[in-house]
A and B are shown apart, each in its own frame.
Chain A
């Protein structure tokens, strides 16, 4: 069974709009970690954030914010006032308590139009 679902395949927004990328996960572990990565056109996946399952506080970093809700098994990512440099593929991932293997979603391709 797929452990991480990113239902949005492609999203286009106009610069300065806000955009939310959805991530739904599935696990039976009580301890787990959730991640977001950004893959710009250059190809390298860049780590953005990690949350553990015991910390449901939302997090904000500049224009980026993350909403973790265990009740809906979701870990959504919002970009406020989007910029062209935000254009990339974004991946959500899950790591269970054994820790070593990551389960990635299929990614959401975001295009920010100037």
Chain B
């Protein structure tokens, strides 16, 4: 079974702190994604990566950065956390390109509260 593991289920941070959210997948997927989920807004893509050290901005990249130093690991960084970044963060991974392998698999999510 595909496994996408997010390092924390719940995090509480203070405004201005630097926050790292970690995601690891064990299926040798090329693509990894970070989404933010807010009530009424569904899932919004923050960043995705299709290879080591490669990244592409999604729909809402402002205030976030990412790091992909190894194929299995994709980190989301909040350089200076703000209260409007309080949200549920979901990591996903998939094989690259379309076709039969194009299914995104998700982690359990990290619920971040910024006080």
Binding site for B on A (CB under 8 A): 6, 9, 31, 33, 35, 37, 42-47, 50, 91, 93, 95, 97-102, 104-107
Contacts and interface: CB of A to CB of B under 8 A. Distances in A.
Interface of B: 9, 31, 33, 35, 40-43, 45, 48, 50, 58, 88, 90, 92, 94, 96-99, 102-109, 111
Contacts of B9: 43
17 contacts: A31-B98, A33-B98, A37-B106, A44-B108, A45-B90, A91-B42, A95-B98, A99-B99, A99-B102, A100-B48, A100-B96, A101-B45, A102-B104, A104-B35, A104-B42, A106-B40, A107-B42
B43 A104 contact: yes
Nearest to A99: B98
Given A44-B106, A45-B90, A104-B43, 18 more contacts: A9-B40, A31-B98, A33-B102, A35-B103, A43-B90, A43-B111, A46-B106, A47-B105, A50-B103, A98-B98, A99-B98, A99-B102, A101-B48, A101-B58, A102-B45, A106-B40, A106-B41, A107-B42
B6 to A, nearest CB: 9
A45 B106 contact: yes
Given A100-B50, A106-B41, A107-B42, A42 B108 contact: yes
Nearest to A35: B103
Contacts of B50: 100
Given A98-B98, A99-B98, A101-B48, A106 B108 contact: no
A62 B15 CA distance: 48
Contacts of B31: 100
A44 B89 CA distance: 11
Contacts of A33: 98, 102
A66 to B, nearest CB: 15
